[in-house]
Chain A
């Protein structure tokens, strides 16, 4: 683990003035990192200039959100490190959005995706976070601050997290155009999604989203039947086919929606699709059983197929990825000791253990540099740097994910997150889109 490795990811965030790098802390991270990895308990991170407060012990915080990051292991670790009790509720994303708006008293911490935040925050049910109270704020990837991974990266379409990441002041519900002291959501987890393929059943290279429409794969493809995400994958496909040029795939006009759905309907009529999937397990089964050879997929689903000993590749495509990101925010009613506890919790969230846990599942941590201290060099190189694994890669539960020698599909963090074409989003024409989508499914 060299200084170079560290700067590779943490230098990018420092490229703007809002995320000053603290050299002394940098050294400390390095020291903690050198102590290496997994076995680091809370005691070992004393290298950090932070001592978790004692008075927040036994405070209970109610967190709700989507399943991806509502993980019991995180609640257990939070109890161990901070002493706080974390009550987790996992719901699907639509229910999360509704509950966030309509029952703001029912939660303390909302773990939501950014596109949900775009709808929820203006409703005035949440309070922005004072980033000056977060010791780890400057470790957050610049993707969530300026929207740019590197100086010259272009910002993707859709609800890019940084566009809804800040508000103008403590009382404001208006999203700021540039980073301020008031953050709506602290990013926690994100990833870049693409198509999954069965390389053993496909005898040509797959390079573009449009390949899913290749007549050669007739009856052997699938896309996901969750309208808000499915329509994005469909847009990536249509654009790749050269049929439609979208002004913003994340916010289509009615004509664009009509055209997209028409193309899908035609493909369905021609028997291009074998099935549509709605849940994670369905996508795994479709792929593992060989019913489909190319389909929309989520990263852990690809891992699940491979875990069965079946070859499956999360294929990087020329047009780029469809990305999504989630974060945690504070309910408006939170105050006093509980608010303090929430700040401690969020700072702890960014301090590395959770990030490492999530990265071992194939997601990315919002503060990659802090997570490094909690991962072995092999793990870090595999998940972040896109280098071949020098030893077996295990999941957080200890299950074998990749054998030694494997390389992550799509390569390094920079290569994957640097090629995001659009972010998950919610459209102005959402209601219309959903109706058209239903038409497509019923057609």
Chain B
């Protein structure tokens, strides 16, 4: 099988993808890594080899706070989207009998995605504001005397927006994993006397592990790399790593931004390498 001709041919087959990845992934990342060692002043990048950018980032309280904030957002969002995503997927996969209905409902889940991210985010603002609909309802019905301030421009509103934006990224892979579970396994579990909860946690959850992990990867990368949701929904009051990087870019401090981006990339890679220890995605797919 492993004749030279055959090897040669398979090289040709991987060439297009390799080229695309090389040009649009490896090369940009290499550039970022290189620039992260450069120096800069107000208006210019100065090619150099300095660890200043890293030294500043790694020793600054701001970075630490931003990372803690980012982890907080990421974990909170992950937990909520996991519970929501799993429930929705479970309902779709096991409770809806007809295939047509299931597909229809699934498409229904994607409808919010027909509008842009930003619109979906901004639409919360008039809803949650001091004089917004929710507060109008609360004060109008006499449930509270003063408008509730923490609804908007707070951690609450940031996480709310994340959950709203990204739950589907959890639903889809879990739903996908669930539909491939052999129904007979569940019947067997029932026949063996397992309760519904036992069936869920002992049979279904382990079998959609790959879906959960893929969903987790989506959520973590999206939340940890985000800057606009945090900025808009916290009213600029709190900073995530993405916001720090964005600030540096807008001030043309590209080397500092590049260094922060490299640190973030490494952090996320470490998290994923731990995650993939638990689940061999390739095998499970």
Interface flags for B256-278 (1: CB within 8 Å of A; 0: not) read: 00000000000000000000000
Residue in B43, B65, B125, B251 whose CB lies within 8 Å of A227: B251
* Interface window among B16-24, B209-217, B233-241: B233-241
5 CB < 8 A contacts A-B: A268-B237, A289-B125, A435-B56, A442-B239, A443-B65
Q: Shortest CB–CB separation between residue A101 and chain B, in angstroms?
A: 5
Neighbouring A residues of B129 by C-beta, 8 Å: 289-291
A275 and B237 within 8 A (CB): yes
Docked pose: A274 CA to B150 CA in angstroms: 10
Neighbouring B residues of A442 by C-beta, 8 Å: 62, 65-66, 69, 238-239, 243-244
A219 and B131 within 8 A (CB): no
Residue in B66, B126, B239 whose CB lies within 8 Å of A289: B126
A137, CB-defined interface residue at 8 Å: no
Dominant secondary structure at the A interface? helix
A97, CB-defined interface residue at 8 Å: yes
B130 and A289 within 8 A (CB): yes
B253 and A278 within 8 A (CB): no
Q: Shortest CB–CB separation between residue B138 and chain A, in angstroms?
A: 16
B236 and A291 within 8 A (CB): no
A94 and B130 within 8 A (CB): no
Q: Shortest CB–CB separation between residue B107 and chain A, in angstroms?
A: 33
B247, CB-defined interface residue at 8 Å: yes
Docked pose: A442 CA to B235 CA in angstroms: 12
Docked pose: A438 CA to B66 CA in angstroms: 11
Q: Which of B37-74 contact A (CB under 8 A)?
A: 41-44, 56, 60-62, 65-66, 69
Docked pose: A101 CA to B149 CA in angstroms: 45
Residue in A119, A268, A277 whose CB lies within 8 Å of B42: A119
- Asked if A102 meets B43 with Cβ closer than 8 Å, knowing A95-B252, A442-B62, the reply is yes
A434, CB-defined interface residue at 8 Å: yes
Docked pose: A271 CA to B248 CA in angstroms: 25
A7, CB-defined interface residue at 8 Å: no
A86, CB-defined interface residue at 8 Å: no
A98 and B231 within 8 A (CB): no
B174, CB-defined interface residue at 8 Å: no
Nearest A-chain residue to B65, judged by Cβ: A442
Neighbouring A residues of B44 by C-beta, 8 Å: 98, 101-102
Nearest B-chain residue to A276, judged by Cβ: B236
B153, CB-defined interface residue at 8 Å: yes
Q: Shortest CB–CB separation between residue A122 and chain B, in angstroms?
A: 11
Q: Shortest CB–CB separation between residue B40 and chain A, in angstroms?
A: 8
- Asked if A276 meets B130 with Cβ closer than 8 Å, knowing A95-B252, A102-B43, the reply is no
Nearest A-chain residue to B231, judged by Cβ: A278
Please name the 3 residue pairs, one residue from A and one from B, whose CB atoms are nearest each other, closest first.
Answer: A275-B235, A276-B236, A442-B239
B residues with CB within 8 A of A: 41-44, 56, 60-62, 65-66, 69, 125-126, 129-132, 149, 152-153, 231, 234-239, 243-244, 247-248, 250-253
Docked pose: A123 CA to B43 CA in angstroms: 10
Docked pose: A424 CA to B62 CA in angstroms: 27
A434 and B253 within 8 A (CB): yes
B236 and A275 within 8 A (CB): yes
A441 and B236 within 8 A (CB): yes
Interface flags for A407-443 (1: CB within 8 Å of B; 0: not) read: 0000000000000000000100011001100110111
Docked pose: A110 CA to B186 CA in angstroms: 71
Beyond contacts A291-B130, A438-B248: 17 other A-B pairs, Cβ-Cβ < 8 A, are A94-B250, A94-B252, A98-B43, A98-B44, A102-B44, A222-B235, A276-B235, A277-B236, A289-B130, A290-B131, A431-B41, A434-B251, A434-B253, A438-B247, A442-B65, A442-B66, A442-B243
A85, CB-defined interface residue at 8 Å: no
Neighbouring B residues of A438 by C-beta, 8 Å: 62, 239, 244, 247-248
A240, CB-defined interface residue at 8 Å: no
Docked pose: A75 CA to B61 CA in angstroms: 48
Neighbouring B residues of A119 by C-beta, 8 Å: 42-43
Docked pose: A439 CA to B56 CA in angstroms: 12
A225 and B252 within 8 A (CB): no
Nearest B-chain residue to A228, judged by Cβ: B251
Nearest A-chain residue to B63, judged by Cβ: A442
A225 and B61 within 8 A (CB): no
Docked pose: A211 CA to B131 CA in angstroms: 23
A274 and B235 within 8 A (CB): yes
In this complex, which of B153, B235, B248 has the most chain A Cβ atoms within 10 angstroms of its Cβ?
B235
Nearest B-chain residue to A218, judged by Cβ: B149
Neighbouring A residues of B236 by C-beta, 8 Å: 225, 275-278, 441
Neighbouring A residues of B126 by C-beta, 8 Å: 289
Residue in B152, B247, B250, B252 whose CB lies within 8 Å of A291: B152
Neighbouring B residues of A225 by C-beta, 8 Å: 236
Docked pose: A101 CA to B251 CA in angstroms: 15
Neighbouring A residues of B66 by C-beta, 8 Å: 442
Neighbouring A residues of B244 by C-beta, 8 Å: 438, 442
In this complex, which of B132, B231, B248 has the most chain A Cβ atoms within 10 angstroms of its Cβ?
B231
Docked pose: A315 CA to B133 CA in angstroms: 30
B237 and A101 within 8 A (CB): no
Neighbouring B residues of A291 by C-beta, 8 Å: 129-131, 152-153, 235
Interface flags for A3-30 (1: CB within 8 Å of B; 0: not) read: 0000000000000000000000000000
Docked pose: A430 CA to B44 CA in angstroms: 14
Nearest A-chain residue to B126, judged by Cβ: A289
Neighbouring A residues of B243 by C-beta, 8 Å: 441-442
Neighbouring A residues of B130 by C-beta, 8 Å: 289-291
Nearest A-chain residue to B235, judged by Cβ: A275
Neighbouring A residues of B61 by C-beta, 8 Å: 439
Docked pose: A80 CA to B209 CA in angstroms: 67
Neighbouring B residues of A92 by C-beta, 8 Å: 250
B153 and A274 within 8 A (CB): yes
